[in-house]
Structure formats: C-alpha cells, structure tokens
Chain A
Amino acid sequence: MSSLFANYRGADGTFDELCSADGAPRQAFRRALESLGRLTPEEFTRCQNLAELALLNQGVTFSVYADNRGAEKIFPFCLVPRMIAAADWAKLERGLEQRVRALELFVRDMYGEQRIIADKKVPADLVLGAKHYLPKLRGIRPPGDVRIHISGIDLIRDPEGTFRVLEDNLRTPSGVSYVIENRLLSKRIIPGVLEDARVQGVDLYSARLSAALRSVAPHGRDDPTVVVLTPGPYNSAFFEHSFLARTMGFDLVQAADLFVDDDHVYVRTTRGPSRVNVIYRRTDEAYLDPEVFRPDSVLGVRGLMRVYAAGNVAIVNAPGNGIADDKAIYPFVPDVVRYYLGEEPLLEQVQTYVCLRDDDRKYVLEHLDELVVKAVDEAGGYGMLMGPSASADERNDFRERIKASPRRYIAQPRIELSTCPTWISGHGALGPRRVDLRPYIVQGASGPWVLPGGLTRVALVDGSYVVNSSQGGGSKDTWVQKP
C-alpha cells in the first residue's frame, strides 16, 4: 500500500470503516483508497489546509454560544472520507424509511385516538409524561397530515460492523448543510479520488426539501409562500438556516418579521403584509408562540398556534414531535414499528434499560460502572454519565438522581463506536478516530426519502467518544457508493 495509509492500524476492539484489522483497505473501497493513498503526507497536508481555508473564506461557520460576541468557528473537517458500501446503504435506507413511517404513525396516533396506549403496547404514564408531549395539540390535523418532515436518525456501528440506531431527532435536526458543503470540498480538492470511488450525489437535497415543503401547503395550494424561520444570526446554526433558504430560494425570516391577524400569518414586507403558507421553522417550539408555550417570552409569533389549529399554516416540523424522539420512548420503537406496520424492524438499536421499570432500575443501580446513563430530556452530549470512566462521586450523584426521578433516566451498555482513518495534523499522519452517522430523511405528502449518506461526525480527540461539535467533534464527507 502506498504512503498515506502505510502505517495505519485501527484501534483494538473496534470496527474500522475503511480498513480491516491488518490495515489493508476493505475490498469495496480498495480502488478509492489506493487513489487517495497515492498522496504523500506533505501533499495531503496541503489539501487539508486548502479545505480549511475554503471553509473560512466561505464563512461556513457556527457561532459559539458561550462567546457573547458571536464569534464564529469553522466546524473542523477531515478530508479523508467515510465510505459506505452500496449493499450496506441499501439496507440502511430501507430501515430508515421504515422507522420514519412508523414514528410518523405513532405521533399521529398520540395526537389522535391514542390506540397504542389503549392496546397497552407502550406504558401510558411513560408517553403521556414526556416533557415534549403537548396535550393542547390533540385533535389537530396538520396540513398534508405530515408531522415528521425532516428527521435525523443517529447511527453507530458496533465492533461486529452492525449499524445501530442511537437516537432519533424529529424536531429540528441540524447539520445537513455541512453534508453538502463537505461534498463541494471533496469535489474541489480530491476530485480524482471521488471519481474512482463512484459516489452517490447529495446536491439534490434542497430540491427534495423544497418539494416536500410545498407538498404540505394548506388547502393544497399550488404555489405556496414558504419561509425559513431562524432565531437569527447569533444562533449556532445560522449558517445552515441561511444556506437552506438560499439554496431553496425561499425567504429567511425571524419571528419579528411575522405576525398573526384573523387566523392567518403574515410577513412584513416593503409592500405591506404578505400571507405565509408554510413555515420551515428552525426555532425551538418553546419559542413558537408565547400565547401557548411561554407567556414570558418576547420571542415567537403571538397567535401562530391559532393559525395552525385553524389549518391555515403548515409548521415544519410539526410541534409536539418530541413525544417520539424522547429517549424514554426509544426502547419501545421496535414495538412501535411492529404495531403500526406489522413488520419486523429492519434497523437494530442499542439495548436500553428504562429506569421507570423496577427490574431495569435495579439492574442499572447495580451496574452503574458498566453503563452509560442518559437524561431523557437532554441532548448534545449533556446530562450523561459515562459509567466506566466516571468517578465514584459522579456515579453516586447519578444514583441519587435516578432514585429521585426514575422516569428521567435510561441506561445503555457502552457500545464501542467504529473508527475511521482521520488526519491528525499534530502527527502529520492518519490515526483511528471514532465516528457516528446522521442520515437525513425528508418526508412530504408522498412519503419518506433518504439523502444518500448523511453527516459523519468524528471525535477528533484521541480516545474520545464524544462527536458533538460543541465538545471537540469534527465532520467528514460521507461517501455512499453507487450500486
């Protein structure tokens, strides 16, 4: 093998995405990796620097919350792609479509008849006690009868190479703009490698999303007014909000640009008010409408939920979806698939202990040093106990918290994440780093579509399991091979 991969070895006990245990490239990726491997470390360093400079000049950045000056950082990027073989992807794609269809039916049911509770397939107190369940929305049918328009389903790969769902994101999953920008960098900097790898394109995303948004317009309008709603330039994902509006050709608005009059929502324009039909909101639902959610909030659009209830605006994703991506519901998703679709789930997930159940809680409290404990209503890697690496004090702290409010916690065995060769600039060489995968699924009136690939996040710190951008994670371009 040529120079770049010459001394590469995966980490012990992990599955490496690109290379087998002896460091040889996996059969499916041999041609592409030989092509990439022809670069010397010096040449690769130049390529990597070029990519980082391009991201900076284009302002492909995220804002850092902690910094009140609204400083922008580039999301660290590694030019070595994460590849997925055609056969593996075909299975994933079917599994993801199935999961989203089932979750969609679950949310519809929960805001309708609640058959699944009556049939005792999920515990009533668990579902109805979810923080994101909004009983006020029961009985409202959203335009197009779609609620989960855009989802991001986080997957990991275990030491045997099996993909497993880690969590569902059904509210406002972010990151898709990086998928598309990362591909532009690959095309620009390593075009020959991309060509040799025979990769499925990702640039259709905006057209698919635009079609889905238009398909759910109220009253079946042909040429609806669609807007993208952002909290503003200081939001950490502002680049993405702007990117989506720009690539779809829709207006990007802030809550103060919108107002409600007589059960319709309008945007303030230089020619006076103009009616809006579809809102792709990238704001948290707690800030959608102070009349309903947070009376103290100055954010949001007063009366928006009245318009929604009257069926005069589509809100994407629908408010209330949090009931289905709650970490406490996650263990029941395979049952949800069986119940609504009458099919066996195609995707594996991670074994999960629900602390609300007496048996599970007992097991969790006895095995805290082996488990990862997660608060069900936190995200972004916060509110977690990594049992095997935590101190005795931290474990005791979680023990008390679990006893005090068992519904808030679930626990899972720690899964060894798969790795991918990643450029370590300090060493001038490749090293194995842990990755996950967030595919994006777009669902309009005609059903789900999966973007080939998704966001590969990588834990850049040696030995780390945390891939979140807020905690030292970076990203890679994800290459799904053509069949």
Chain B
Amino acid sequence: MISRVADHCFWLGRYLERAESTARVLSVTRQLSLDAELPAAQCWRPVLIVSGEEEGFLETLGDGGVADGDRVQDYMTWSDDNASSIQASVSSARENARAIREVVSQEFWMTLNELYLWMNNPQGRAQYRDDRDGFYRHIREATQLCLGVLRNTMLHDNAFHFISIGLLLERCGQTARILDVHHHVLTQLSMHQVVEAALWLSLLRACAGGEPYMKTNHGRIITPDGVAAFLVLEPAFPRSIHYCLIHSYNRLRSIRSPEEPTLPGRDVMIRLGDLQAWLAKKTPAILAREDIHALLTHVVDETAAICDGIRTQVLGLGQQQSQVSAQ
C-alpha cells in the first residue's frame, strides 16, 4: 500500500483511541472527585500529566486552574490549543480519514463524520452542559461504534492492520502513563484502606478494567501490586500493555513478513519484538520486586521510538528519497 496512506491509517487509529481514552479518564476522574473526598487538584492534576498537557494548561490557566475540575474538563474536551483534547483528537481522526476515504469503508467514514458533526453543533455542547456523563459516554460509544463498523465493513488488509497498530500502540502508551502517574501518587499517600481501594478501582476504570479485574481476581481486595500486574501483564485484557504489544507485533509481522529480509522496517520490527518478549518474561512476582516506574518509563520510551521507527523505516517518511529496487 501507499506509504502516505499507511501513515494516515496509523494516525487515524491513534487519534480515535486517544479521543476514547481521554473521554474515559475524564469521566472516571469526575466520579472520583465526587466520591473520594480528595483535594480537587489531587484528582485533576494526573489527568493533565497523563495526556502530557500539564505545561500547556499551566501556561494558559495557571496552577489555580488545576483545582477547578470544570476548567480541566473544558481544556481536555474542547480546547483548540490542546492537541490531546477530545475535540482536537476527533477532528484529527476525521482529517486523516477524509484523506483516505477511498481506503476506509464508506459506513465507517459516515460514522466518524457524524461524531465530528455532533461535537461541532449545538447538540454536543448542550449535552456537555446538561449531562456530562452522557456526553463522555456518547464519545466512548461513538468511537467504539467507529471501530466496530471498521472491523466489520472494511477489508482486513494492510490498511486495517496499520489502523490497528496505531490504536494498539497509542493504547499501550496510555495504559502505561495512566498507571505510572497514579501509581506514583497513590503509593505516596497513606490513608484508610477503603479510600485507597476506591482510588485503585477508579484507576482500573480509567482503563476500562474495573470489571475485568474483578473477574480475574474473583473480587479479592484490590492491591497496588495486583492492579499493576493486571494492567501490565494480563494477556486476556485488551488494554493491558502486554496485550497491546503482542497484538501490535503480530499485526506488524503480517504487514512485513520476517521471511522477507529485504523489505523496509526490519529494525523496528525487531525492536517491537524485543519489547514484547522482554515483557512476556515478567510474572506478577517479579513485577512486585521491580521499580514499576522504571519499567513503565521504559515501555513509554520504547513505544515512542517504535512509532517513530514505523514512520521513518516502514513508511520511508521524514527521509529525502526512498531506494529504488529493480522490478
């Protein structure tokens, strides 16, 4: 497939996932701020850190704004200055899809376009104002609908694989950052076990992992090590880091067969393979003894480098001229 098209596919997947993830994190944090009797800034600052937007927020709204949940939500939902806002993510997803309308299915395009139009007409604003939970739920459902329509109406060809890789690598980074930020904050606190359990549960929910965690652990009391092991290692959970790495690696191998050594992108494939193999060796017991922050930092850095490698090596973008092989 055409490299530029693959790049659009990759980013389409990333932005769709980012829109959904941001909506989920905002929704969960809002619940938490109502329940947990924590200082507001302590609830909302992690949202900004996870998205990498704390600096931009402080520049425009100042440190006082962090304690104002509505300001953080406005910034993370609507702001044009914030490339991670839901609005910006949906617009970027649509821009990428619009450039490759001939590649994605028509039904998918319409589903995504309707989400975009809803956010940009008074209906979306009104729901945000009157029914915040319903608003976030609409974003999550609409993005999930997009992905479902995509899966069931377009060819499962390389374009589909590139969308999936973008989505999985974005999700991998999101899960790692959400866990890292909250793990850091939560282990610093010493508080009543019930409050602590509520916080860990909200962390799981931010990754759509509340119920799956309970099913896997049969309702046992939530522990920091248990949550970390679940979000990092659980192979059956579609948002765990392990799941995202294994599946993105498999997709990349189906695009770029390891049996064809001359194809572009060999190094980045090896790098992704190494990362998932490294993680596959971990067990919950090993994880409990390790510095979780160092581990997650490694995952985030490697994922960023792999995304970059896909762009430069597989797609040949950001380089002057790709090589010509005789045909």
A interface residues (Cβ-Cβ under 8 A, vs B): 56-59, 232-233, 238, 242-243, 245-246, 251-254, 256-257, 259, 261-262, 266-275
Complex Cα spacing A327 to B324, Å: 44
- B83-121: CB near A (< 8 Å → 1, else 0) gives 000000000000100111110001001100110010000
| Chain B 1-25 interface residues, beta-carbon cutoff 8 Å to A | 1-6
Complex Cα spacing A246 to B105, Å: 9
Complex Cα spacing A435 to B233, Å: 66
In the complex, 17 of the A-B residue pairs with CB atoms within 8 angstroms, ordered by the A residue number, are: A58-B113, A232-B99, A233-B99, A238-B98, A242-B102, A243-B102, A246-B102, A246-B106, A251-B5, A251-B102, A253-B4, A270-B3, A270-B6, A270-B264, A271-B263, A272-B263, A272-B325
CB neighbours (8 Å) of A253 from chain B are 2, 4
CB neighbours (8 Å) of A242 from chain B are 98, 101-102
Residue on A nearest B263 in the bound complex, by CB = A271
* Structural contact, B109 and A59, CB atoms closer than 8 A: yes
* B187 in contact (CB, < 8 A): no
* Structural contact, B324 and A245, CB atoms closer than 8 A: no
* Structural contact, A270 and B117, CB atoms closer than 8 A: no
**Max chain B C-beta neighbours (<10 A), residue from A233, A251, A272, A275:** A272
* Structural contact, B113 and A57, CB atoms closer than 8 A: yes
* Structural contact, B322 and A268, CB atoms closer than 8 A: yes
* B158 in contact (CB, < 8 A): yes
| Chain B 166-208 interface residues, beta-carbon cutoff 8 Å to A | none
* Structural contact, B102 and A270, CB atoms closer than 8 A: no
Residue on B nearest A258 in the bound complex, by CB = B2
Number of chain B residues close to chain A: CB under 8 A: 33
* Structural contact, B325 and A273, CB atoms closer than 8 A: yes
* Structural contact, A270 and B315, CB atoms closer than 8 A: yes
* B146 in contact (CB, < 8 A): no
* B327 in contact (CB, < 8 A): yes
Whether A57 contacts B117 in the complex (CB less than 8 A), given A269-B2, A270-B264, comes out as yes
* Structural contact, A57 and B101, CB atoms closer than 8 A: no
CB distance from A6 to the nearest CB of B (A): 35
CB neighbours (8 Å) of A56 from chain B are 117
Complex Cα spacing A253 to B325, Å: 20
Complex Cα spacing A267 to B4, Å: 10
Whether A270 contacts B1 in the complex (CB less than 8 A), given A233-B99, A246-B106, comes out as yes
Whether A57 contacts B114 in the complex (CB less than 8 A), given A233-B95, A233-B99, A275-B327, comes out as yes
Partner among A238, A251, A252, A272 whose Cβ is within 8 Å of the Cβ of B264: A272
CB neighbours (8 Å) of B265 from chain A are 270
* Structural contact, A257 and B102, CB atoms closer than 8 A: no
**Max chain B C-beta neighbours (<10 A), residue from A262, A268, A273:** A268
CB neighbours (8 Å) of B321 from chain A are 259
CB neighbours (8 Å) of A275 from chain B are 327
* B238 in contact (CB, < 8 A): no
Complex Cα spacing A183 to B6, Å: 32
Whether A270 contacts B109 in the complex (CB less than 8 A), given A246-B101, A253-B2, comes out as no
CB distance from A177 to the nearest CB of B (A): 11
Partner among A243, A256, A261, A274 whose Cβ is within 8 Å of the Cβ of B4: A256
CB neighbours (8 Å) of B4 from chain A are 253-254, 256-257, 268
CB neighbours (8 Å) of A251 from chain B are 1-2, 5, 102
- B121-147: CB near A (< 8 Å → 1, else 0) gives 000000000000000000000000000
Complex Cα spacing A257 to B117, Å: 31
CB neighbours (8 Å) of A243 from chain B are 101-102
* B149 in contact (CB, < 8 A): no
Complex Cα spacing A234 to B314, Å: 26
CB neighbours (8 Å) of B325 from chain A are 272-273
Complex Cα spacing A271 to B98, Å: 24
Partner among A57, A59, A266, A267 whose Cβ is within 8 Å of the Cβ of B98: A59
| Chain B 282-327 interface residues, beta-carbon cutoff 8 Å to A | 314-316, 321-325, 327
CB neighbours (8 Å) of B95 from chain A are 233
Q: Beyond the given A58-B109, A266-B324, could you list 12 further A-B residue pairs with CB under 8 A, ordered by the A residue number? A: A57-B117, A59-B110, A233-B99, A243-B102, A246-B101, A251-B5, A252-B5, A252-B102, A270-B3, A270-B256, A271-B263, A272-B325
Residue on A nearest B95 in the bound complex, by CB = A233
Partner among A59, A232, A254, A271 whose Cβ is within 8 Å of the Cβ of B113: A59
Residue on A nearest B327 in the bound complex, by CB = A275
CB neighbours (8 Å) of A238 from chain B are 98
CB distance from A452 to the nearest CB of B (A): 24
Residue on B nearest A234 in the bound complex, by CB = B99
CB neighbours (8 Å) of B327 from chain A are 273-275
* Structural contact, A58 and B110, CB atoms closer than 8 A: yes
CB neighbours (8 Å) of A261 from chain B are 324
* B255 in contact (CB, < 8 A): yes
Complex Cα spacing A51 to B324, Å: 48
CB distance from B160 to the nearest CB of A (A): 13
Complex Cα spacing A246 to B109, Å: 12
CB neighbours (8 Å) of B263 from chain A are 271-272
Residue on A nearest B98 in the bound complex, by CB = A233
CB distance from A268 to the nearest CB of B (A): 5
Whether A269 contacts B113 in the complex (CB less than 8 A), given A233-B98, A246-B101, A261-B324, comes out as no
Residue on A nearest B310 in the bound complex, by CB = A270
CB neighbours (8 Å) of A262 from chain B are 324
* Structural contact, A269 and B1, CB atoms closer than 8 A: yes
CB distance from B79 to the nearest CB of A (A): 17
Complex Cα spacing A254 to B100, Å: 11
CB neighbours (8 Å) of B324 from chain A are 261-262, 266, 273
CB neighbours (8 Å) of A246 from chain B are 101-102, 106
Complex Cα spacing A309 to B113, Å: 43
CB neighbours (8 Å) of B323 from chain A are 272
In order of increasing CB-CB distance, the 9 nearest A-B pairs are A246-B102, A245-B102, A242-B101, A261-B324, A233-B99, A268-B3, A252-B102, A59-B113, A242-B102
Complex Cα spacing A432 to B236, Å: 65
Complex Cα spacing A275 to B327, Å: 8
Complex Cα spacing A267 to B158, Å: 16
CB neighbours (8 Å) of B322 from chain A are 268, 272-273
CB distance from B103 to the nearest CB of A (A): 8
Complex Cα spacing A57 to B106, Å: 11
CB neighbours (8 Å) of A269 from chain B are 1-3
CB distance from A54 to the nearest CB of B (A): 10
* Structural contact, B316 and A268, CB atoms closer than 8 A: yes
**Max chain B C-beta neighbours (<10 A), residue from A57, A269, A273, A275:** A269
Partner among A58, A232, A270 whose Cβ is within 8 Å of the Cβ of B255: A270
| Chain B 244-263 interface residues, beta-carbon cutoff 8 Å to A | 255-256, 263
Residue on B nearest A250 in the bound complex, by CB = B102
CB distance from A115 to the nearest CB of B (A): 40
